[in-house]
């Protein structure tokens, strides 16, 4: 329609221009053919030629339109379908953002195959089905997305892993994350998702294997990475079955981590379980020289090294340095009790400082008081420990 109007306007403009040119000198044109003669002005002849050319062009366009009508109709129909598909896609996303899961799912799937990237429609429909707690529909949409060539395997697996984790499907999520890691071993989000899931499910072996790439990917905060690193190395120190293997595992721990109380305490416990209390005591002493830690003191107090006098002397030395900390009082009382020095043990265990311990420390204190035949004090300590666990008091 626009072309037709444009042609009319051009024709009128040319006609007006020619009329001005030939206003005073119109001239004439004579055409003789087979006994016929046609005589007219130059202006009219030019106008006739232009009109004829325009009519021929119009007829040609009409002929072409008739000949290619099926193709044209298909193109128009496809364009209309794409427009509808784009509208359904946008409407589905809006409903998904508004938490209208069923409506979003219907809109996203209604014109999915007409969209430029149907795989995306299937992925977001899977999310909508997940929020409806429809696992079978979710998996069906994920299968459709996987079969679509319009979206990568990475995008499908990433969505699948996230939805499986959210649904608490830990075994399935682990398998999907393993495949993701094989596909993209250095992808920052894949590494983070895999590590977080491994930490949450206690799969510390996987977490330990991911640490080198996690550090290079820089996809976690330093605090979160520290939590994962400590958990992984604690697990690493729990695996050895003999002292030699444990010592080798300790050498695998980075130097900065060997000074962390959480790691040292775990190593000391592992040594003690293998009967190496002397070495465990030495490791704790070396760490406490650098910085004080209450949990290390508690572990130290439970050890049974050959040099019991040296153990007690260390605790008393720490009391002189750090004051009457609750865990120091508990450790000293425990050691005096083991030496059958009941009066000294009672002085330490019944002091007001010892009663400031947390729930675990109060449990230990109660047991030691029972051994001292302090039944009433033990009962009060147990009660305080229960209140601490229950009310946080």
Q: Of 88, 117, 151, which one is at a domain's C-terminal end?
A: 151
Q: Which range has highest mean pLDDT (15-24, 63-72, 302-311, 335-344)?
A: 302-311
Neighbouring CB atoms inside 10 A of 69's CB total 10
- Assess if residue 351 is contained within a domain: no
Question: Looking at the structure, do residues 81 and 133 belong to the same domain, yes or no?
Answer: yes
* Chain segment 96-115, per-residue pLDDT in tens: 999 999 999 999 998 888 88
Across residues 268-274, what is the average pLDDT? 93
Mean pLDDT of 115-126: 91
Asked if the model's pLDDT at residue 3 lies above 70, the reply is no
Opening angle at CA 285, ends 280 and 286, nearest 5 = 100
Q: Are residues 139 and 196 part of one domain?
A: no
212 lies in some domain = yes
Q: Which residue has the tokens 């070495």?
A: 279
For residue 66, the tally of other CB atoms under 10 A from its CB is 9
- Give the separation between CA 272 and CA 287, rounded to whole angstroms: 16
141 shares its domain with 180: no
Identify any residues that bridge with 31 across adjacent strands, giving them in sequence order.
38
Q: What is the pLDDT of residue 354?
A: 60
- Reference 285, options 311, 307, 266, 304; nearest CA is 311
Q: Judge whether 207 lies within some domain.
A: yes
Q: Are 348 and 336 in contact (CB under 8 A)?
A: yes
| Helix, strand, or coil (residue 18) | helix
Shared domain for 204 and 144, answered yes or no, is no
pLDDT for residue 139: 95
Residues 89 and 146 in one domain: yes
- In the prediction, which pLDDT does 43 show? 64
74 confidence band (pLDDT: 50, 70, 90): low
Asked if residue 2 belongs to a domain, the reply is: no
Radius of gyration of the chain (CA): 43
Number of structural domains (the chain) is 2
Average pLDDT over residues 358-366: 74
Q: What is the pLDDT of residue 332?
A: 87
Is pLDDT larger for residue 15 or for residue 335?
335
Per DSSP, what are the bridge partners of residue 204?
A: none
pLDDT band, residue 272 (cuts 50/70/90) = very high
Find how far residue 361's CA is from the centre of its chain.
38
With respect to residue 251, please indicate whether it lies within any of the assigned structural domains: no
Which range (24-33, 59-68, 175-184, 231-240) has the least confidence? Answer: 24-33
Which of 221, 239, 257 lies at the terminal end of a domain, its last residue?
239
Closest by alpha carbon to 296, among 340, 265, 336? 265
* In contact, 204 and 198? CB cutoff 8 Å: yes
Q: What percent of the chain has pLDDT over 70?
A: 84
**Considering the domain boundaries, does residue 336 fall inside one?**
no
Residue 358 pLDDT greater than 80, yes or no:
no
Cβ atoms of 42 and 24 within 8 Å: the answer is: no
Task: Please identify which residue in the block is written with the tokens 């030629």.
Answer: 49
The predicted pLDDT at position 125 comes to 95
pLDDT for res 4: 59
Least confident of 15-29, 89-103, 239-253, 277-291: 15-29
342 Cβ neighbours under 8 A, 6+ residues apart: 336, 372
More confident residue, 356 or 175: 175
| Domain end among 151, 186, 203 | 151
Pairing between β-strand 29-33 and β-strand 36-40 as defined by DSSP bridges:
antiparallel
In a domain, 67, yes or no: no
Residue 384 has pLDDT above 90, yes or no: no
- For residue 333, what pLDDT is reported? 81
Residue 393 in this model has a pLDDT that exceeds 60: no
Tell me which residue of 145, 141, 178, 185 sits closest to 161, measured CA to CA: 178
Q: Of 3-7, 204-208, 362-366, where does mean pLDDT reach its minimum?
A: 3-7
Question: Is 366 part of a structural domain of the chain?
Answer: no
pLDDT, averaged across the chain: 85
Residues 147 and 186 in one domain: no
Do 88 and 144 have their domain in common?
yes
Do 231 and 190 lie in one domain? The reply is: yes
Biggest CA–CA distance in the chain, Å, is 150
Strand ranges (DSSP E) for the chain?
A: 29-33, 36-40
Nearest CA among 53, 60, 40 for reference residue 14 = 53
**Do you know the residue count of the chain?**
393
Q: Is the pLDDT of residue 313 over 70?
A: yes
Task: Assess contact for 111 and 89: CB atoms under 8 A.
Answer: yes
Between 75 and 290, the more confident residue is 290
Check residues 352 and 164 and name the one with the higher pLDDT: 164
Higher pLDDT, 103 or 392: 103
What's the rounded mean pLDDT across residues 26-41? 69
Domain that holds residue 91: 77-151
Question: Average pLDDT, stretch 55-75?
Answer: 74
Task: Let me know whether 86 and 136 are in one domain.
Answer: yes
**Residues 312 and 339: beta-carbon distance below 8 Å:** yes
């Amino acid at each position: 329609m626009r072309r037709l109007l444009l042609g009319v306007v051009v024709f009128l403009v040319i006609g007006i221009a020619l009329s001005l040119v030939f206003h005073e000198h119109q001239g004439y044109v004579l055409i003789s053919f087979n006994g016929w003669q046609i005589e007219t002005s130059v202006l009219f002849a030019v106008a006739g030629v232009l009109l004829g050319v325009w009519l021929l062009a119009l007829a040609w366009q009409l002929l072409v339109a008739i000949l290619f009508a099926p193709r044209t109709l298909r193109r128009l129909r496809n364009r209309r379908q794409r427009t509808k598909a784009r509208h359904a896609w946008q409407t589905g996303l809006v409903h998904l953002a508004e938490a209208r899961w069923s409506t979003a799912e219907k809109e996203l799937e209604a014109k999915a195959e007409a969209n430029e990237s149907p795989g995306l429609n299937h992925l977001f429909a899977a999310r909508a089905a997940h929020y409806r707690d429809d696992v079978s529909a979710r998996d069906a949409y994920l299968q459709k997305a996987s079969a679509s060539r319009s979206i990568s395997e990475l995008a499908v697996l990433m969505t699948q892993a996230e939805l499986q984790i959210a649904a608490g499907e830990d075994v399935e999520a682990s398998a999907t994350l393993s495949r993701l890691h094989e596909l993209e071993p250095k992808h920052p989000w894949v590494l983070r998702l895999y590590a977080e899931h491994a930490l949450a499910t206690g799969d510390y072996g996987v977490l330990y294997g991911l640490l080198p790439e996690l550090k290079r990917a820089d996809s976690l905060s330093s605090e979160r990475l520290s939590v994962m690193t400590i958990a992984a190395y604690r697990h690493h120190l729990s695996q050895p079955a003999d002292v030699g293997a444990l010592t080798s595992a300790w050498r695998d721990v980075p130097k900065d981590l060997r000074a962390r109380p959480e790691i040292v305490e775990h190593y000391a416990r592992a040594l003690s379980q293998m009967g190496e209390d002397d070495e465990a005591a030495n490791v704790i002493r070396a760490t406490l020289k650098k910085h004080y830690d209450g949990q290390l003191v508690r572990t130290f107090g439970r050890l049974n090294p050959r040099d019991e006098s040296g153990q007690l002397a260390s605790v008393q030395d720490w009391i002189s340095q750090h004051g009457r900390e609750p865990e120091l009082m508990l450790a000293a009382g425990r050691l005096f009790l083991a030496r059958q020095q009941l009066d000294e043990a009672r002085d330490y265990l019944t002091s007001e400082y010892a009663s400031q311990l947390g729930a675990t420390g109060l449990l230990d204190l109660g047991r030691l008081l029972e051994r001292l035949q302090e039944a009433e004090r033990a009962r009060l300590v147990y009660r305080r420990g229960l209140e601490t666990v229950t009310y946080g008091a």
